[in-house]
Chains A and B, each alone.
Chain A
């Protein structure tokens, strides 16, 4: 409500910029009625189900409607590891979602590849689709996912509706990639103990 100020001496008048009012109203409603498209591939999906069930109750945040159809959803939640074989699937789901759309990467595997630093696994879904919020954990507890969702709320509430760059479709480039190849290689670099393994046999 920081854009709204009451006029001195009267409780019945407010002054604000029109754009600020629209931003506030639209973003507030968007943030509080996100329709998730769950993309559950592994144990994180179990925690996601726990988050949606009665104890943690995703419905408190206006998310009770699981879309299961990309055309009627706002936020893609990738819960679990993403093998290369599923990369074109999540890409197609992301492309089919209407704007505005956001992506939550839930768990270590979706965010970085996690322990699966091998031939079959995408090393972070951000090499395939743009990601707004990364939730760490293996798997994250429901509180962790809820915290990530609240962070996404904050991000949405800070968006400017009149910024056209927010509505740009992030399509694959002519090389069939989302990022420059060097950047994908850098993101996918191993870390920790696995640096002692080598690419060639």
Chain B
């Protein structure tokens, strides 16, 4: 059992739920309201030093009664310890947890992926856009259990929407290397880049 689990229970009291030891890996359940404090404490407290955010992900179970879990995998490089923090959310309610991008910059894309695939909102995220599916993707969040395997639209509608996407719009202006020379670009290209692809596709027929 990871000693950080006891330290968390001592510090945060009833904000900490179950502590599970699964085959030598420690899982700590935390309430959604305090998870940011817990993660910040784990990163910044001397002796804890969880400086590496391995992954942020989410799990939805086939059992509809079970909660949707958002998972943070932490590692302390100095003390070589792993810790898994989980928050349970009601899959039928609002899915929102605080963002930790200001603690670990690497959380940026990980949180975007969880948002894209599960529809979990990370409050305070600087740029919460879809990352795997394109921005105008309108069928929902593919890894949710109520999402049909083949998507919600007919194949022809999916092809139509896909072909109408502007491939250059996959990137925000900051992600493009030409961002600094924006003012020197032709007016038409400036306009296209500034709009992204947000106004490209009309809604489905």
Q: Which of A67-75, A104-112, A135-143, A169-177 contacts its partner? A: A169-177
Identify which of A84, A88, A117, A177 contacts B156 (C-beta below 8 A).
Answer: A177
Nearest A residue to B145 via CB reads A201
Chain A 101-141 interface residues, beta-carbon cutoff 8 Å to B: 117-120, 122-123, 127-128
Range of interface residues on chain B?
Answer: 20 to 34
User: How many angstroms between the C-alpha atoms of A199 and B153 in the bound complex?
Assistant: 9
Nearest A residue to B158 via CB reads A84
CB distance from B126 to the nearest CB of A (A): 23
- Given contact pairs A92-B167, A185-B155, A117 touches B150 in the complex (Cβ within 8 A): yes
B158: A residues at CB distance < 8 A:
84, 119
- Given contact pairs A119-B142, A175-B160, A198-B148, A127 touches B155 in the complex (Cβ within 8 A): yes
A193: B residues at CB distance < 8 A:
none
The yes or no answer to B166 lying at the interface (CB within 8 A) is yes
Chain B 127-144 interface residues, beta-carbon cutoff 8 Å to A: 133-134, 139, 142
The yes or no answer to A89 lying at the interface (CB within 8 A) is yes
A119: B residues at CB distance < 8 A:
139, 142, 147-151, 158
The yes or no answer to B159 lying at the interface (CB within 8 A) is yes
The yes or no answer to A91 lying at the interface (CB within 8 A) is yes
Nearest A residue to B169 via CB reads A88
B167: A residues at CB distance < 8 A:
88-89, 92
Interface of chain B, main secondary structure: loop
> How many A-B contacts are there with CB distance less than 8 Å?
77
Identify which of B151, B156, B163 contacts A91 (C-beta below 8 A).
Answer: B163
Nearest A residue to B144 via CB reads A201
B149: A residues at CB distance < 8 A:
117-119, 197
Chain A 169-201 interface residues, beta-carbon cutoff 8 Å to B: 172, 175-177, 181-182, 184-185, 187-188, 190, 197-201
User: How many angstroms between the C-alpha atoms of A87 and B162 in the bound complex?
Assistant: 6
Additional 20 contacts, C-beta under 8 A, given A128-B163, A177-B160: A85-B165, A87-B162, A88-B164, A88-B167, A92-B167, A119-B139, A119-B149, A119-B150, A119-B151, A120-B142, A122-B159, A128-B159, A176-B160, A184-B155, A185-B155, A185-B156, A188-B155, A197-B149, A198-B148, A200-B148
Cross-chain pairs A/B with CB under 8 angstroms, 14 sampled: A85-B162, A117-B149, A119-B139, A119-B147, A120-B133, A176-B160, A177-B160, A181-B157, A181-B160, A187-B155, A197-B150, A199-B148, A199-B150, A201-B146
Which residues of A are in contact with B by a Cβ distance under 8 Å?
84-85, 87-89, 91-92, 117-120, 122-123, 127-128, 172, 175-177, 181-182, 184-185, 187-188, 190, 197-201
